[in-house]
Amino acid sequence: MSKKSGKNIKLAVVGASGRMGSEIMALAGDAGFEVTAKLDKAKSWGVKAREVDIVVDFSLPAGFDQALNWCVENRKPFVSGTTGLSDKQRKQLKQAAKHIPILYSANMSVGIAVLSAMLEQFRALEDWDFHIDEVHHNQKKDRPSGTALLLDEKLGAVLDRKLPAPNSIRGGGVPGIHQVWAMGPEEVVVLQHTAFNRKVFARGALKAARWLFDKAKPGLYDLSDLYK
Ligand SMILES: NC(=O)c1ccc[n+]([C@@H]2O[C@H](COP(=O)([O-])OP(=O)(O)OC[C@H]3O[C@@H](n4cnc5c(N)ncnc54)[C@H](OP(=O)(O)O)[C@@H]3O)[C@@H](O)[C@H]2O)c1
């Protein structure tokens, strides 16, 4: 229920007809949201500001652009899990976050949030070799995955060096497997996260949306902010 009105939070879903959008809509009601706008490539942005409290976007980079612009114009909080963003789009996120609350994460699962925090421990093994692998379904458009890039950026900062490009495997219906290999001369450590289904990302995104709606302060947040 909305803290402000006691009613369900009015939610616009961008990428509504997609795999992730469908999961979001299936779970939204139980999470205290009412889906008041469903947007995809075919449906234009003729949405009125009063119909929407918050926007959740799982689409493509073009959908992300439209959603972000609409949120800035209408001063609405924005949650996005869309991957494959350009450097320019990442800069636009930072700029927009001066005006509205934004939560962006290339992976909305708590498991990846915790795995990402665990990478700090690899500072003790900084002279080892490291590699990131990812496996996803054969319809995935971006490569490497946004999650692999998130882990690569985090681990690169921990070790203070550039890592080899992540390995990407595409096949079947795999929702997402990520592995971080730490390889020493006489031993190996492997951290692995496996998503069993897309509900895990949808639940995480709705939890993030609820958190961001209550926060209601401009800024650029990521999933780790929920677990601090
Ligand atoms: N952060 C996470 O945890 C997480 C987890 C899983 C996936 N993802 C990411 O989420 C995104 C969506 O994944 P998916 O598997 O759901 O993809 P998908 O099944 O291909 O769905 C994409 C959706 O985006 C819509 N779309 C395309 N262009 C648009 C535009 N210009 N404006 C509005 N909507 C537009 C499509 O509409 P049409 O049907 O009309 O083309 C479709 O509904 C991808 O970037 C994926 O990598 C993130």
Q: What is the pLDDT of residue 6?
A: 62
Residue 1: pLDDT band with limits 50, 70, 90: very low
Ligand 1: residue whose CA is nearest its atom 40: 41
Residue 29: pLDDT band with limits 50, 70, 90: very high
Does residue 186 form part of some domain? yes
Same domain assignment for residues 132 and 149: yes
Q: What is the pLDDT of residue 169?
A: 98
Q: What angle do CA 32, 37, 41 make, to 5 degrees?
A: 130
Nearest CA to 35 among 20, 59, 55?
55
Q: What is the pLDDT of residue 227?
A: 84
> Given the structure tokens 């009063």, which residue do they identify?
50
Same domain assignment for residues 97 and 171: no
Instruction: Classify the C-alpha dihedral 83-202-223-121 as positive or negative.
Output: negative
- Mean pLDDT to the nearest integer, 195-211: 97
- Mean pLDDT to the nearest integer, 206-225: 96
Same domain assignment for residues 90 and 148: no
Domain holding 49, by residue range, is 9-108+199-227
> Given the structure tokens 């497997």, which residue do they identify?
177
- Mean pLDDT to the nearest integer, 105-127: 97
Residues 6+ apart with CB under 8 A from 30: none
Q: What angle do CA 200, 107, 103 make, to 5 degrees?
A: 105
Please list every protein residue whose CB sits less than 6 Å from any atom of ligand 1. 14-21, 39-42, 58-60, 62-63, 66, 81-84, 105-108, 142, 146, 201
Same domain assignment for residues 19 and 100: yes
**38-79 tens-digit pLDDT:** 999 876 678 899 999 999 999 999 999 999 999 999 999 999
**84-114 tens-digit pLDDT:** 999 999 999 999 999 999 999 999 999 999 9
Q: What is the pLDDT of residue 42?
A: 72
- Mean pLDDT to the nearest integer, 119-148: 97
Does residue 42 form part of some domain? yes
Residues labelled catalytic: 136, 140
Same domain assignment for residues 101 and 174: no
3 has a pLDDT exceeding 80: no
Q: What is the pLDDT of residue 45?
A: 77
Q: What is the pLDDT of residue 41?
A: 85
Same domain assignment for residues 138 and 203: no
For residue 30, report the distance from its CA to the centre of ligand 1, in Å: 22
For residue 34, report the distance from its CA to the centre of ligand 1, in Å: 20
Ligand 1: residue whose CA is nearest its atom 3: 107
For residue 47, report the distance from its CA to the centre of ligand 1, in Å: 19
Does residue 3 form part of some domain? no
Kindly state the tokens that stand for 15: 């990428």
Does residue 188 form part of some domain? yes
